[in-house]
Chains A and B, each alone.
Chain A
Amino acid sequence: MNALLEAVVRASGTTAFRLAAAGVSAFLLGAALVAALLFWQTNAVLTEQAIIAITSEASALEREARESGIGAVAEAVRLRSNPDGPGLYFLADRTGAKLAGNLSRVPPEIAGSAAGGAFRFEAGSGRAVRQHLGVAIPVTLSDGALLLIGRDVEEQRAYASRLKRVFLWGFAALAIAGIAAGLAVSRLALRRIETITKASRAIMAGNLSERVPLSGSGDELDELAKSLNEMLDRIEQLMGGLKEVSDNIAHDLKTPLNRMRNRAEAALRDPSGPEACRKGLEQTIEDADELIKTFNALLLIARLEAGAVEETAATFDLGQLVRDVAELYEPVAEEAGLALAVEAGHGVTIRANPQLIGQAVANLIDNAIKYGRRADHAPEPREAEIAVRVERRDANAEISVADQGPGISAADRERALKRFVRLEESRTRPGTGLGLSLVAAVARLHGGSIRLEDNGPGLRAVLVLPA
């Protein structure tokens, strides 16, 4: 009982209950108005009919009195005075003495009233005497006699009160049913919201892989649960990314930090004097700069993945941007013995952040220069080429950078997009290992993607951006 009460109390606090209660009250108010109108209208019609009947009877008896005298009227009244009938009569002479009629006296409620009205009287005879309601109008006849003509309206009153009772009970039943339905509906909604709350509590407590169960009906609550689940997927993915980053920081930043520390310590201990110290410090600063670069790239990736870079988007010619970046790298490529061929027409415009796209293209070209040298050690190595293309394909703009180096095996391609992954294990060449994952993050931020393909031989990286 207590539990039920508690459930009701809790349910009565919910939105569903409040909505149901408001609906039920509005409905009841409307129904009560209609019922009242009906009641008064019926009453008015019945009363009017009674009054018309008694008015016409009155004028007939008045005429009779004028034409045939009071005796004839008394006779007529006597004939009409049925003790159980609906007609009520009282005829008295000028002195007030009763001459005929089925009423015993002038009812006190209408005594002296010229218009008449409603009154109570005793109907029936002997043991079956009951209080009835009647209406009557007084008529003063030509010789000063008083005639009351009325109708017993008890039946009408009883009908009206029965109607009233029916309406009241009906309303009570409606109210109870409405509130019960409201409670049931809110209980149902409450239970599903409770499941969602319980699931989110569990998730907050640390079980990130938990999901909100769906009812399968596809209603609003299911929609809510679905978008909550999608949010959780995203959070889990971000948390996973964060964990991966911290793991990688531990691995990949501790090593250079340690190296830097060793170098500083060695310089300090070096017995050959200030020159060695100076050299050690210079190298330490160089190491620090490399570390800063890595940190910056990491931070940028993290912010891109959080979708934090906005505001600075512009519409620009992608071909022009790619040609400019390629021009920046052209001398470096040449020094590395690579030819940089750019095929970028005009008219491929996109809306994006030009600095980020520039950075992404720079990273792709930089990678191609670092890893795009031919693997074969032929005595006369032909000049390898890096082909940079910009083209529109369907609704997308594609930037591809293809080299003729050793490429990346199909199995390693996905891994290559991850942070800090450098496929050459020795890690002798400079680089943070963040280049491709930065490109991937830039692509994702702009709703695009990156593909790594076989260039046969070599690697082709394709950056796809929505045009």
Chain B
Amino acid sequence: MRLLVIEDDRETAQFLQKALRESGHTADLAADGETGLAMAQSAAYDALIVDRMLPKLDGLSVVKTLRSEQNRTPVLILSALGDVDDRVKGLRAGGDDYLTKPYAYSELLARIEALARRRVPEEQETRYAVGDLVLDRLSHRVTRAGEHIPLQPREYRLLEYLMKHAGQVVTRTMLLENVWDYHFDPQTNVIDVHVSRLRSKIDKSFDKPLLHTVRGAGYLVSERAP
């Protein structure tokens, strides 16, 4: 993926550039809002990582300007402001996702990959399949090797989200936000328990595990182990 990082802190920007390169992406850097806006306008990026507080032109204005020009490039907003209000403002300005500093790089990577993937027009897929695991979005039925697996409604939505992002790492926070719509810290690793319950239903009596835990990052539904 080709990414643009608009971040005024040199060290953070270079860390991101290096880490993203190691993850197989290329990242251009812009150190202020005006430069960043000009770069985003003149080249096609798969996604933008925009710091909220920038010299010359703040991050939200950059996003607003791009959106008013019909530029639909997915944007991940980075901010030290992490309140519910701040997040709402960020998304209202046209951001697609919002990440509060300080963040784990694995969280940022998972989110930016999910965003860029979303760009592929989501043709109403009626079924997701990973290996012999099939989720039918019309009948809400899940089968593995043809065998029906009964799931609770929340377990179904959890699996649906994981399978929609099959092959991508999904973090606990992403699950909490997208499956439960909670934007707060649940104190305990509640997500782990839900995932392990789901795993016991879809993986337990089969040889090949499909729902993997990625250490220090999150979860991954894939035929291949990470």
A-side interface residues toward B, CB under 8 Å?
Answer: 282, 285, 288-289, 292-293, 296-297, 299-300, 303, 308-312, 324, 327-329, 331-332, 335, 353, 355-356, 358-359, 362-363, 366, 369-370, 430-431, 435
Contacts and interface: CB of A to CB of B under 8 A. Distances in A.
Given A355-B182, A355-B184, A331 B83 contact: no
B118 to A, nearest CB: 23
A328 B88 contact: no
A361 to B, nearest CB: 10
A311 B88 CA distance: 9
B184 A358 contact: yes
Interface in B189-222: 190, 193-194, 197, 216
B184 A359 contact: yes
B79 to A, nearest CB: 13
B83 A300 contact: yes
A327 B216 CA distance: 25
11 contacts: A296-B82, A308-B85, A311-B85, A312-B85, A312-B88, A327-B154, A332-B190, A332-B193, A355-B183, A362-B187, A435-B187
Given A362-B186, A366-B188, A331 B194 contact: yes
Contacts of B183: 355
Contacts of A293: 185
Contacts of B188: 329, 332, 366, 369-370, 430
Nearest to B82: A296
Size range of the chain B interface in the assembly: 20 to 34
A365 B157 CA distance: 23
B104 A289 contact: yes
A310 B186 contact: no
Contact of A363 (B88, B180, B187): B187
Interface string B79-114: 000111100100000000000101010000000000
Most chain-A Cβ atoms within 10 A of its Cβ — which of B187, B193, B197? B187
A370 B154 CA distance: 24
A369 B82 CA distance: 27
A191 B149 CA distance: 84
A426 to B, nearest CB: 19
B80 to A, nearest CB: 10
Given A300-B83, A309-B83, A331-B193, 15 more contacts: A288-B102, A296-B82, A296-B100, A308-B83, A309-B84, A312-B84, A312-B85, A328-B182, A328-B194, A329-B188, A332-B193, A353-B84, A355-B184, A356-B84, A366-B186
A299 B184 CA distance: 13
A324 B154 CA distance: 10
Contacts of B194: 328, 331
A282 B185 CA distance: 21
Most chain-B Cβ atoms within 10 A of its Cβ — which of A335, A353, A359? A359
A48 B212 CA distance: 119
Interface string B147-189: 0000000100000000000000000000000001011111110
Nearest to B185: A293
Given A355-B184, A362-B186, A366-B188, A331 B85 contact: no
A287 to B, nearest CB: 13
Contacts of B185: 293, 296-297, 359
Contact of B187 (A327, A356, A431): A431
Contacts of A300: 82-83
In order of increasing CB-CB distance, the 8 nearest A-B pairs are: A359-B184, A331-B193, A366-B187, A355-B84, A332-B193, A312-B84, A355-B183, A332-B190
Nearest to A299: B82
B181 to A, nearest CB: 9
Contact of B190 (A282, A309, A331, A353): A331
Given A362-B186, A431-B187, A335 B88 contact: no
A384 B194 CA distance: 21
A355 B194 CA distance: 20
Contacts of A329: 186, 188, 190
Contacts of B216: 282, 285
Nearest to B89: A311
A435 B82 CA distance: 18
A162 to B, nearest CB: 79
Contacts of A296: 82, 100, 185
B211 to A, nearest CB: 16
A151 B83 CA distance: 98
B84 A358 contact: no
A304 to B, nearest CB: 9
